[in-house]
Structure 1
Amino acid sequence: MILSEITMPEFEKGLKRTRTVLIPFGVVEQHGDHLPLGTDTMQAEDVCLKLAQRRAVFVAPPIHYGVCRSTADHPGTISISTETLKALTVDIVSDLYRNGLRCFVLISGHAGGTHNATLLDAGEVLLKKLPEAQIAVVTEYDLAVGEGGDIIETSGDAHAGEIETSRILHARPHLVKGRGRAEVPTFPQAILVRDKRRYWPGGVHGDPTKASADKGRRIEALVVDALERLVLKLEQARD
């Protein structure tokens, strides 16, 4: 049940079937010179929509903006602060709870450490605030790597590489402009830098030349399976 597409009576009827909602989080962020800026959001939303075809769950509209640190200097990246992301997450989940939802899966298509630490912080706040809430925070990337290890050829593939290029080639091939180039960022260990693009000029971490639509299809299916298992576990969880 897609929240933005159903009516008020349909929402009320849906609550009799499920109290679970999936909330896709993404970013507007550079993904090399071959993938769209909304890649992360698309991947998170796609797996939520696919799971909603299998079982009764609500799917909230995606959150298109997030925290981007290492890509902040690349053209097209639009980042928000950790404070804004945390407040937005707390507000949205709190109002979904007020509407009767009780199980919340915060699934991020963006794997940035600062971004996801912020979602975890928001989740901890919500656990204290909402006594009947069950909350899971997971990155779509972690599910893809964990489930698709036998499919992925590139060691350490992380951003706009084999995995993500395969996913978009499968789901939205018309948005892929060429195939990109293999690259690994060269940030100095432990040292923060101002000119991030100097150490990561192409914005790719991995090898997009090894991507294929078939790999994307297989990885997406595995991610949906893993997401379904997580939902089932969350719905059965009791503190």
Structure 2
Amino acid sequence: MQLAEHSWPEIEAYCREDSLAVVPLGSTEQHGPHLPEGTDHMIAEALARKATERTGYLCTPPITVGVSSHHRQFHGTMSVDPPAFRDYVESLSRSLTEHGIDRIVYVNAHGGNINHLREVGRRLREDDTAYAIEWMWNESIPDLVDDLFEHNGPHGGPKETAMIQHIAPDLVREERIDDAAQGGATRMDEQELRHHGARTFYDAIDNTENGVLGDQRDATAEKGEVMFDAAVEQLVALLDWLDDKPYEALAAKPHV
């Protein structure tokens, strides 16, 4: 059920029966020379929409800009400061609870958002406002991703390339895939990421000149469809699990 596409009486009817909402989030940032800047929020919205179409749960409009300062050297990247992002997501979440929502799933497709979404969830749980959790699509199917790609890469690599080939094929610059692979960092173990136990990089450009990590050349729309369907299955299962839980079982435990 897409919140933005329904009237308030229809949302009221939903909230009389259900108390779960899905919030898709991503980023607007560089994804190499071959993928659109909206890659992350497009993936998150597509997964959230498909899962809520299947289940009937409420889905909000997507949050399209996240915490992406580590991609700032590449043109077009948009980012918000972490405190502003956390406060915005928390405020949006609290607005949902005014209508009876007490459990929220953040359908996330951007690694830079993860820790901040988990912190928001902690805040909401600690003051007994709602139970909110972060769900990252590729973390729900890690073995499948590893099986499909030799060098899947954490950013702009074959898994994201294949997902966009599946959900928005016209936005993939297929003629630039070879350039993306040859100009990026194919293998993470080729990079000097740590020295004497310390992580010594801050920005994406420290590790890759063209913004991508991984080898995109074995990405296909067919592999994207396999991942998409598998991730949707995981998300549907999570939503049903969460909906079945009594709120008391999700709330923070009292002090011993």
Q: Name the % identity.
A: 27
Which sections of structure 2, spanning at least 5 residues, go unmatched?
Answer: 251-256
Deviation at 1:229, TM superposition (A): 1.2
Decide whether aligned partners of structure 1 residues 58 and 35 sit closer, same or farther in structure 2, where only a CA change above 3 A counts. Answer: same
Decide whether aligned partners of structure 1 residues 81 and 146 sit closer, same or farther in structure 2, where only a CA change above 3 A counts. Answer: farther
Deviation at 1:147, TM superposition (A): 4.5
Deviation at 1:15, TM superposition (A): 1.7
Conserved 8 A contact 2:145-2:227: yes
Decide whether aligned partners of structure 1 residues 187 and 36 sit closer, same or farther in structure 2, where only a CA change above 3 A counts. Answer: farther
> 1:163 — aligned with what?
159
Matched, 1:116 2:120: no
> 1:214 — aligned with what?
222
Conserved 8 A contact 1:104-1:135: yes
Q: How far apart in 1 are the matches of 2:233 and 2:13?
A: 26
> 1:6 — aligned with what?
6
Matched, 1:140 2:128: no
Q: How far apart in 2 are the matches of 1:96 and 1:88?
A: 13
> 1:234 — aligned with what?
242
Deviation at 1:140, TM superposition (A): 2.0
> 1:67 — aligned with what?
67
Structure 2 residue identity aligned to 1:90: E
Which sections of structure 1, spanning at least 5 residues, go unmatched?
Answer: none
Q: How far apart in 1 are the matches of 2:163 and 2:240?
A: 25
Deviation at 1:198, TM superposition (A): 4.9
Conserved 8 A contact 1:82-1:118: yes
Structure 1 stretches of 4+ with a deviation exceeding 6 A read none
Decide whether aligned partners of structure 1 residues 147 and 22 sit closer, same or farther in structure 2, where only a CA change above 3 A counts. Answer: farther
Deviation at 1:168, TM superposition (A): 0.6
Equivalent positions of 1:48-59 (< 5 A) are 48-59=48-59
Deviation at 1:11, TM superposition (A): 0.4
Q: How far apart in 2 are the matches of 1:192 and 1:110?
A: 19
Larger radius of gyration: 2
> 1:41 — aligned with what?
41
Conserved 8 A contact 2:15-2:99: no
Secondary structure in 2 matching 1:32: coil
Conserved 8 A contact 1:111-1:141: no
Conserved 8 A contact 1:144-1:220: no
Q: How far apart in 2 are the matches of 1:210 and 1:78?
A: 29
How well do the aligned residues superpose, as a CA RMSD in angstroms?
A: 1.8
> 1:102 — aligned with what?
102
> 1:225 — aligned with what?
233
Conserved 8 A contact 1:134-1:234: no
Decide whether aligned partners of structure 1 residues 5 and 176 sit closer, same or farther in structure 2, where only a CA change above 3 A counts. Answer: same
Deviation at 1:192, TM superposition (A): 4.0
Deviation at 1:136, TM superposition (A): 1.6
Q: How far apart in 2 are the matches of 1:6 and 1:21?
A: 14
Q: How far apart in 1 are the matches of 2:56 and 2:109?
A: 22
> 2:28 — aligned with what?
28
Structure 2 residue identity aligned to 1:215: K
Q: How far apart in 2 are the matches of 1:124 and 1:25?
A: 18
Which structure dedicates a bigger proportion of its chain to helix?
A: 2
Structure 2 residue identity aligned to 1:80: V
Deviation at 1:102, TM superposition (A): 1.5
